[in-house]
């Protein structure tokens, strides 16, 4: 499974080439598009330090994909939200990353259903 998904069909390069930004930025954008996050929450989820997370968000903000605002309950915190354009870019990333490997596309529907059931049990 590792060889099939990660070595022969790694979609990360495809999404990086299609969107023109690093995979770390794409990962951050996808998280923010799923739900607004504080900078601290985003850093924790991405397993990055806060200064690096700030650099990622700075770039996404410069591109017009996210916006920062003051947290309504804690003025010391910033909340990062996705813009309309950012939501579209995140959706494109999700489509690319969600494409199954070609080897799986040729399987009969019953096999795909069974594989989906097995993978669902693992997660």
- State the pLDDT at residue 8: 63
For the chain, the domain total comes to 1
C-alpha span between 68 and 53 (Å, rounded): 13
- Enter the pTM of the model: 0.83
Q: CATH number of the domain at 8, please.
A: 1.10.10.10
Domain of 73, in residue numbers = 2-122
Q: Above pLDDT 90, what percent of the chain?
A: 62
- State the pLDDT at residue 4: 65
Give the DSSP letter string of 3-66. IIIIIS--HHHHHHHHHTS-HHHHHHHHHHHHS-EEHHHHHHHHT--HHHHHHHHHHHHHTTSE
Tens of pLDDT, residue by residue over 34-74, are 999 999 999 999 999 999 999 999 999 999 999 999 998 98
């Amino acid at each position: 499974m590792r060889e099939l998904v990660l070595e022969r069909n790694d979609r990360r390069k495809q999404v990086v080439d299609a969107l023109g930004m690093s995979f770390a930025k794409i990962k951050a954008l996808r998280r923010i598009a799923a739900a607004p996050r504080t900078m601290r929450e985003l850093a924790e989820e991405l397993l990055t330090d806060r200064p690096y997370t700030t650099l990622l968000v700075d770039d996404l903000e410069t591109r017009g994909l996210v916006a920062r605002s003051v947290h309504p309950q804690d003025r010391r915190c910033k909340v990062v939200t996705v813009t309309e354009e950012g939501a579209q870019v995140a959706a494109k990333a999700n489509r690319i990353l969600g494409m199954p490997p070609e080897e799986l596309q040729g399987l009969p529907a019953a096999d795909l259903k069974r594989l989906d059931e097995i993978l669902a049990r693992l997660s």
